[in-house]
Structure 1
Amino acid sequence: MEKLTNKEEEIMHVLWTLTKAFVKEVVAELPMPKPHYNTVSTVIRKMEDKGYVKHEAFGNTHRYYPAISKEEYRKNYFSSATQNYFENSYKNVVSFFAKEEKISADELREIIKLIESKNNQ
């Protein structure tokens, strides 16, 4: 799937939260300054072309909903980032966060326990 832009991701988060929404409802949930209705409508239609969003028609109006779950998107996004920025190595990902002090030793121990418990199943 084609990657979402930052604005598309922002709108996708709103759709995941609302489950189904008309454009005006999406606009209402976006942070200030609010983008124009037509801008959001255009972005959502592009997201539909990319396969991330579907719609139900109500006359001339459409109610949009996610075609991909947040978990599915997260998995695809993280796999792509790992491949593109960390030589496809999860060890490199964890090392990066450790060096940046974004993960504590306690959190790393929890991760190790999780891995070990999965291996023992």
Structure 2
Amino acid sequence: MVRILQQKQFVGHEIHGKSHKYYPLITKETYTKSFMKGFVRRYFSGSYRQMVSFFTKEDNLSLHELEQLLKELKDKNS
């Protein structure tokens, strides 16, 4: 698993004798942005509207949460 993370350039390592010290090459925020873009592209045809609609229909988003999202969108575009 660690080798896969290294191949994807998420993790680097240093050799110390017979042991290895592993460290992140990207931040959690960078990984999260990349993951979410891929997730929306693969499962919702790149449409954030479809993603929000899906979670709303599945009752995973409350009206209050939707209102908060709308407020954040309005604040971002102001």
Say yes or no: TM over 0.5.
yes
Residue ranges of structure 2 left out of the alignment (5+ in a row): none
The runs of at least 4 aligned residues of structure 1 exceeding 3 Å deviation read none
Q: 3-state SS of the aligned residue for 1:103?
A: coil
Q: What is the alpha-carbon root mean square deviation over aligned residues?
A: 1.1
The match for 1:93 among 42, 51, 56 is 51
Aligned length: 78
Residue ranges of structure 1 left out of the alignment (5+ in a row): 1-42
Work out the percentage of aligned pairs sharing the same amino acid: 40
Q: Cα deviations across residues 33-69 of structure 1 (Å, max 9, x unaligned)?
A: xxxxxxxxxx212321221110122112111011121
TM-score, with length taken from structure 1: 0.60
Distance 2:57 2:3 in 1: 40
The one of the two structures with greater contact order (alpha-carbon pairs below 8 A, sep at least 6) is: 1
Q: 3-state SS of the aligned residue for 2:14?
A: strand
